[in-house]
Amino acid sequence: MPLKATSVRLDDETLQRLGQIAESMDRPRAWLMAHAIKQFVSREEWFIREIEKGIQAADEGRLIDHSRVKAKWEAKRAAQMD
């Protein structure tokens, strides 16, 4: 798949930090930016899908009472402290 060029405007500090990371990884800045954007897009797509699943569950009445969720997490936390 051919790659398309785009531009990103960054402040000096961020650009410098990005350059340092790219140098430490022995990669070009453009590679690092593309990698970061791919990770961001994947994470945001996952997040949107999960929200849509939650909305669908709520629309179907598949909900859990807050007190049950709270009790579950409090029990889990107590077990970890033992």
CA distances from 42 to 6, 51, 79 (A): 19, 14, 34
pLDDT over threshold 90, residue 82: no
Q: Write the pLDDT tens digit of every residue in 7-43.
A: 999 999 999 999 999 999 999 999 999 999 999 999 9
Using CB atoms within 10 A of its CB, is residue 77 exposed (0-12), middle (13-18) or buried (19+)? exposed
How far apart CA 1 and CA 5 sit, in angstroms, is: 13
pLDDT over 90 percentage in the chain: 94
